[in-house]
C-alpha cells in the first residue's frame, strides 16, 4: 500500500514555485474530480485549459493502453508510427506542412522563436540587424529564459536578468503601435489570439489583420501562440481559423495531449527547411505515448459535434454568468472566446480573484485566475450541460459567499 500524503508534504519536498490549494485531487472522471477526503468537485478549470475532453475519456484511455502495450519510447534516432499519424492529422487540418514536437507550450514557443532567428541568420539578414522579436505587453509565452523574456510581464522575467536581447513589447490590440513598432529590424512577431494569463483578452480582428499586413511589408514572420486557444478551445480547431488570417508559424500544447505532456510547432515547408538535422531537438518530443493520445484528441475534437457543442456551452456560460452578475454586481465585464471565458471583477473587488477561486473550491467547483482581477473558466469542450449547470450553480454560491464577506 502507498503511504498517505498530505498538503504539508508539498512544502517539505517540492521546490516552492507553486502554492497549490489545500485539497489534493485523487480521482477524476469526465468533469468531476474527487479529492483525498472524498469531496466531489465540478471541474471548470480543466487543468488550466488542458483537459479539453475531460478526465478519463474512454477513447483516450484506450489509445494510451494500446500504445503502452506496444512502444513507449525509441528516441529521435528513429521515428515512430504514432507521431507520423499525429503530424499528418495536424498538417491535413491546418495551413502547415511540417511539425516539430516538444513537451510543452514553452518548448513549442522556444522552437518557433529559434526558427525565426535561424531564418534571418540563414538569409544573411541577422548580420544586418534583422533579429528583433516583437511581442505584446501582458503576454505570456512560457517559462524558459527566452520565452519568459518574450512574454510581456516583467514580474516573471526581471529576477532572471540579464535577459535575451532584441525583444520589443508593444501594447496589445493597438493598431497604430503595431504599425510603428514592427520595422525592418523585426524578424518575427508573436501574439496570443486571446491573452489567457493576463485576463482573457481576445485580439481584435483589425489588430490581427494589421499584424499580418505589416509582417508582409517588412518580411517578418507572424507567430500565433495557440498554446491555450488551440485544439477546439474557441470552437474551431485553432483560433486563427476564426480570424481568416494565416500565420507563418503556430504553436500549441495544453489540450493537445489532454493532460499527457506534448507541444507542437506548426509551420510551412519553406520555413521548416531552416531547421536542419541537429539544429534543434527534444529528447522526449514526439514520444509514442504522447503522440498516440494526441492523435486521438485531434480526431475527437475535429468531430462536428465536438466543435459545434463549444458555442452552445459558451452561450450557456455567458448567460449564467450574466445572471449571477445581475444579482451580485461582482463583475465589470464578462468576455472570451468559446470555452475560454474571463469575468473581470469590478472596482470594489480588484485584486481579489484568488479569493474568489478559493471560495469556489469551498463551494465544490474548480475555477482559475487570469491575473489578480479576473476569474477564468476553461471547462471541458464536452462537459454535459447538466454538469455545467451544476458547476455554475456552485460558482454562484461561491460568489454570494465572496461578496457577503467583503
Which residues are 101's β-sheet partners?
264
Which domains are assigned to the chain? 8-56+304-404 (3.90.1150.10), 71-302 (3.40.640.10)
Averaged pLDDT, 395-400: 98
Give me the chain's average pLDDT, please.
96
Grid coordinates standing for 12?
A: 517539505
The answer to whether the CB of 264 falls within 8 A of the CB of 293 is no
Model-level pTM greater than 0.85?
Answer: yes
Block residue for cell numbers 470594489: 348
- Burial category of 270 from C-beta neighbours within 10 Å (exposed 0-12, middle 13-18, buried 19 and up): exposed
What is the tens place of the pLDDT at every residue in 160-214?
999 999 999 999 999 999 999 999 999 999 999 999 999 999 999 999 999 999 9
The pLDDT score that the predictor gives to residue 40 is 98
What is the tens place of the pLDDT at every residue in 297-340?
999 999 999 999 999 999 999 999 999 999 999 999 999 999 99
The pLDDT score that the predictor gives to residue 406 is 66
How many other β-carbons are positioned within 10 Å of the β-carbon of residue 349?
21
Residue 251 pLDDT greater than 90, yes or no: yes
Question: Among 150-159, 181-190, 262-271, where is mean pLDDT lowest?
Answer: 150-159
At a CB cut-off of 8 Å and minimum separation 6, what does 309 contact? 381, 382
The pLDDT score that the predictor gives to residue 381 is 98
Averaged pLDDT, 112-127: 97
Grid coordinates standing for 218?
A: 517588412
Question: Among 3-12, 225-234, 245-254, 307-316, where is mean pLDDT lowest?
Answer: 3-12
Amino acid at each position: 500500500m502507498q503511504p498517505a500524503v498530505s498538503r504539508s508534504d508539498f512544502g517539505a519536498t517540492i521546490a516552492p514555485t507553486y502554492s497549490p490549494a489545500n485539497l489534493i485531487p485523487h480521482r477524476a472522471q469526465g468533469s468531476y474530480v474527487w479529492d483525498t477526503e472524498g469531496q466531489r468537485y465540478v471541474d471548470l478549470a480543466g487543468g488550466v485549459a488542458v483537459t479539453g475532453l475531460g478526465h478519463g475519456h474512454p477513447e483516450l484511455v484506450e489509445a494510451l493502453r494500446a500504445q503502452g502495450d506496444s512502444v513507449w519510447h525509441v528516441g529521435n534516432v528513429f521515428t515512430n508510427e504514432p507521431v507520423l499519424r499525429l503530424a499528418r492529422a495536424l498538417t491535413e487540418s491546418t495551413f502547415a506542412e511540417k511539425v516539430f514536437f516538444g513537451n510543452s507550450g514553452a518548448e513549442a514557443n522556444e522552437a518557433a522563436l529559434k526558427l525565426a532567428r535561424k531564418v534571418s541568420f540563414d538569409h544573411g539578414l541577422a548580420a544586418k540587424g534583422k533579429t528583433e522579436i516583437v511581442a505584446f505587453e501582458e503576454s505570456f509565452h512560457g517559462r524558459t529564459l527566452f520565452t519568459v523574456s518574450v512574454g510581456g510581464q516583467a514580474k516573471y522575467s526581471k529576477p532572471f536578468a540579464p535577459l535575451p536581447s532584441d525583444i520589443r513589447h508593444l501594447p496589445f490590440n493597438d493598431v497604430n503601435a503595431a504599425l510603428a513598432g514592427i520595422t525592418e529590424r523585426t524578424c518575427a512577431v508573436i501574439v496570443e489570439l486571446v491573452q489567457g494569463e493576463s485576463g482573457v483578452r481576445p485580439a481584435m480582428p483589425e489588430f490581427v489583420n494589421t499584424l499580418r499586413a505589416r509582417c508582409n511589408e517588412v518580411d517578418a514572420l507572424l507567430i500565433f501562440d495557440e498554446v491555450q486557444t488551440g485544439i477546439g478551445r474557441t470552437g474551431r480547431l485553432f483560433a486563427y481559423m476564426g480570424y481568416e488570417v494565416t500565420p507563418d508559424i503556430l504553436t500549441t500544447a495544453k489540450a493537445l495531449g489532454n493532460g499527457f505532456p506534448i507541444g507542437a510547432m506548426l509551420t510551412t515547408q519553406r520555413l521548416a527547411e531552416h531547421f536542419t538535422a541537429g539544429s534543434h531537438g527534444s529528447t522526449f518530443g514526439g514520444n509514442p505515448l504522447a503522440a498516440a493520445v494526441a492523435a486521438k484528441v485531434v480526431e475527437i475534437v475535429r468531430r462536428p459535434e465536438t466543435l459545434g457543442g463549444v458555442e452552445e456551452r459558451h452561450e450557456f456560460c455567458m448567460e449564467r454568468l450574466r445572471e449571477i452578475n445581475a444579482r451580485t454586481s461582482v463583475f465589470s465585464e464578462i468576455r472570451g472566446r468559446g470555452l475560454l471565458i474571463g469575468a473581470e471583477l469590478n472596482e470594489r473587488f480588484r485584486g481579489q480573484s484568488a479569493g474568489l477561486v478559493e471560495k469556489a473550491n469551498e463551494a465544490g467547483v474548480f475555477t482559475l485566475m487570469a491575473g489578480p482581477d479576473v476569474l477564468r473558466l476553461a471547462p471541458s469542450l464536452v462537459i454535459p450541460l447538466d454538469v455545467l449547470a451544476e458547476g455554475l450553480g456552485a460558482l454562484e454560491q461561491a460568489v454570494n459567499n465572496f461578496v457577503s464577506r467583503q
